[in-house]
Amino acid sequence: MKDIRQFVALFRTSLGVDICDDKISLALLRRTKNGVEIVKAASGPAPAGAIEDGSVKDPALLAKAIKALKSSCKISKRRAVVSLFARPVLTQIMQLPGNLPGNIGQYVQKEAKHCAVLPCKNIMSGHCGISASKTGSSRVFTVATEIEKVNQLMKALQEAGIIVEAIEPAEIACCRALYEKEIAGNLDSNVLITLIDGADATLIVFRNQAFDFVRKRDIGKDICQSEESRKCLAEEIDTIIHYYAMEIDESARNWRVVTVVRHDGRNTEEISGFLKSRFPDMEIEVVSEAGPKNMSFAAGPDAQGACLIAVGLAVRLLDVPQPKLKINLMPPKSAEVRVVKQDMLIAANIAVAVLFAMLMVVAVLKVSLNKTDKVINEKKKEQSSCETSDLLIERAKLKRQANNLREEIEKLNKLVSSGYTGNWGLVLDEIRRKTPESLWITSIAGSDGSGLAVKGWSTSYEAIHLFVDMLGESKHIESATLVEAEKREGSDNLVSYAVNCTLVAQGGL
C-alpha cells in the first residue's frame, strides 16, 4: 500500500487558476520521476460584466468563461489552487506581543478588523509564521479581506467544476514559481521580488532564502504606462534597501531585484532600462508573467506562454522546493465540505472494494462446490463399488469451509452497514493545516477516546508554541497543551515536543 501511495504521489497532477481584472489563466503541472513538467496552459479574457472594482460581480458569467477555457485546452476536473481575487486586501507582517492573550488566529483577526484598508468588519484572515525579527520576537505574515468577496469567488469556481484545495494571494504564487531559480541557494544576496499589477506594486524581500519583508503600494498610475509611476516604484525600492542598511545592518550585502509585470508584460524593456539606470550597481531583471523564462520547470508543447502566477499556484500541491509560505483563505464552510466529500469518497471506495471482494469469494466458492459435485459424480460412475466415505468426508470439509466463508462475509456486511460517524478526517486535516513548516510530526496516538497525543521534532521553541496556539483555535480541538519540549544534544539543535489535545465531543459528521 505504501508503494502504491508513493507511485501515485510521484505522478500526481495539480492545476493553478489565476484570475485578474481582465484575464483568466490555467496551468496544469505534473510531477514525474524527472521533476515537474508544465503539461498544459491556457489564457483567455475575463468576460465583460463578470468583474467589477477588482472583485467578482457575476459568478455564473465567470464560471462559464472558466469552463470554456478548460474545455479549449482539454483540462478535466482537477484539484486546484486559485489566486485570491478580491479588493481591498490587507497584506502585512505582524509582530506578536510577548504576552499574547488567547490564540494567534483570534489576535490576527482582531488586528485586521482595525485596519483602515478593510472597510467591512465581516472579514476573514489567514496567517503563517515566519522568521523572528532582529529583537527575537515572533512574527506572522497576514492576509485578510472581506469574506463575502471570497464567497463570490468560491461560487464561481464551484460552478466551473474546480475542486479548490486552497486560495492564496498572487504574490505568494509568484515567489513560489521563481523560488528554485532565483531564491534558493542565494545566500550572498538579498532578493527583492516586485510584482507589478497596473498601479499596484507588491515588494517582497527574501533574506537568507527566507521570507522577511512585504510592502504593498498603490502608486496611483499604471507603472507600465507612466514614467512618473516608475519613479515612485524606484523610490520604494530605494527606501527598502536603505531600511536594511540602517536597521538590519546589511549595507555591504548585494541586492538582486526581480520584477514581474502582469497583463502580458507590457513595456518590460522600458521598465528594465529605467531601473538599471537608477540602480546601476544591482542585478536587475524585469520579466513578463507570460512564459516560464525564470522558472525551473520544463514546458511541454501545449504549455508555451504559461502564466507564471498560475504555475506558482499549481506548484503548491507538488513536492518541490518552495518558500515556507502557506496561507489558505478558503471559507471555513467550504473547507469542511471538501474534507467531508473526501471522507465520503474514501468510504464509498472501501464499500465498493469490500462488495467486490464478497462477490469474488461467492463466485470462487460456487465454482469450487460445482467442481466437487462433478468429481463425486464421476467417481460414482467409475467406481460404483468403491466406498464413498472419503468423498463424503471431502464434501463435508468443503461445506465447513463454505460456512466459514459465509460467516466472514456476514462480518464484512455488518462492517459496511454500520457506517463510520467519527470526525477523524476533519481532525487530521485540521492538524495538517495547522502544522508550521519548521515542525515535524512523528506520531499521533489516541489517548482516552476523546484525546490525541501528538509528538515530533521542531527547529525552534517558537514553532512549537505557534503549533500549540494554532491547534487551540481549531473548532474540532477543545484544548491543546504542551507537555514536553526538550532540545536534543548534537549539531542539529532539534527540539523534541509532545502535545496533548482534547477533542470536541460530536455526534458525527
Q: What is the pLDDT of residues 196-212, one digit of tens each?
A: 998 899 999 998 888 98
Percent of the chain at pLDDT above 90? 27
| Confidence at residue 411, expressed as pLDDT on a 0 to 100 scale | 47
Class of domain 2-330: alpha beta
Distance CA(199)–CA(220), nearest Å, equals: 6
pTM of the complete model beyond 0.95? no
| Confidence at residue 460, expressed as pLDDT on a 0 to 100 scale | 86
- Three-state secondary-structure class, residue 192: strand
**Is it the case that residue 102 has pLDDT exceeding 90?**
no
What is the DSSP secondary structure assignment for residue 47, as one 8-state letter?
Answer: P
> How do residues 456-469 score in pLDDT, each as one tens digit?
998 888 888 888 88
Min mean pLDDT across 46-60, 64-78, 301-315, 487-501 is at 487-501
Residue 415 — very low, low, confident or very high, per pLDDT cuts 50/70/90? very low
* φ, ψ of residue 76 in degrees (nearest 5): -85, -175
Residue 443 — very low, low, confident or very high, per pLDDT cuts 50/70/90? confident
Residue 185 — very low, low, confident or very high, per pLDDT cuts 50/70/90? confident
Q: Which residue has the higher pLDDT, 339 or 50?
A: 50
**Is it the case that residue 420 has pLDDT exceeding 50?**
no
Q: Which residue has the higher pLDDT, 36 or 384?
A: 36
**Which H helix or E strand runs over 31?**
strand 23-32
Distance CA(303)–CA(37), nearest Å, equals: 9
Strand ranges of the sheet holding 23-32, from the earlier edge strand across to the other edge? 163-168, 79-83, 13-19, 23-32, 35-45, 298-299
**Is it the case that residue 399 has pLDDT exceeding 90?**
no
420-429: average pLDDT: 66
288-300: average pLDDT: 77
| Confidence at residue 379, expressed as pLDDT on a 0 to 100 scale | 64
| Confidence at residue 507, expressed as pLDDT on a 0 to 100 scale | 52
| Confidence at residue 159, expressed as pLDDT on a 0 to 100 scale | 93
Q: Which residue has the higher pLDDT, 100 or 481?
A: 481
Min mean pLDDT across 262-276, 368-382, 407-421 is at 407-421
Distance CA(232)–CA(246), nearest Å, equals: 21
Q: List CB contacts of 135: < 8 A, sequence separation 6 or more.
A: none
Q: Which residue has the higher pLDDT, 133 or 473?
A: 473
The H-assigned helical ranges of 114-224 are: 147-159, 170-178
| Confidence at residue 491, expressed as pLDDT on a 0 to 100 scale | 57
In a 13 Å sphere around the CA of 326, the CA atoms on its Cβ side amount to 13
462-483: average pLDDT: 85
Most confident range (mean pLDDT) of 248-252, 348-352, 388-392, 494-498 is 494-498
Distance CA(234)–CA(60), nearest Å, equals: 40
223-237: average pLDDT: 91
Residue 470 — very low, low, confident or very high, per pLDDT cuts 50/70/90? confident
Distance CA(42)–CA(306), nearest Å, equals: 7
Mean residue pLDDT of the chain comes to 80
**Is it the case that residue 385 has pLDDT exceeding 60?**
no
Min mean pLDDT across 225-234, 309-318, 460-469 is at 460-469
Radius of gyration of the chain (CA): 29
Residue 418 — very low, low, confident or very high, per pLDDT cuts 50/70/90? very low
| Confidence at residue 422, expressed as pLDDT on a 0 to 100 scale | 53
Fold (CATH) for 424-503 = Gyrase A; domain 2 (3.30.1360)
**Is it the case that residue 496 has pLDDT exceeding 80?**
yes
| Confidence at residue 245, expressed as pLDDT on a 0 to 100 scale | 86
349-366: average pLDDT: 66
Q: Which residue has the higher pLDDT, 307 or 393?
A: 307
Q: List CB contacts of 121: < 8 A, sequence separation 6 or more.
A: 113
Most confident range (mean pLDDT) of 52-61, 130-139, 328-337, 339-348 is 52-61
**Which H helix or E strand runs over 312?**
helix 308-315
Percent of the chain at pLDDT above 70? 80
| Confidence at residue 118, expressed as pLDDT on a 0 to 100 scale | 78
CA angle 325, 293, 188 (to 5 degrees): 55
| Confidence at residue 417, expressed as pLDDT on a 0 to 100 scale | 47
Min mean pLDDT across 40-54, 143-157, 383-397 is at 383-397
DSSP E strands: which ranges in 180-245? 189-197, 200-207, 210-218
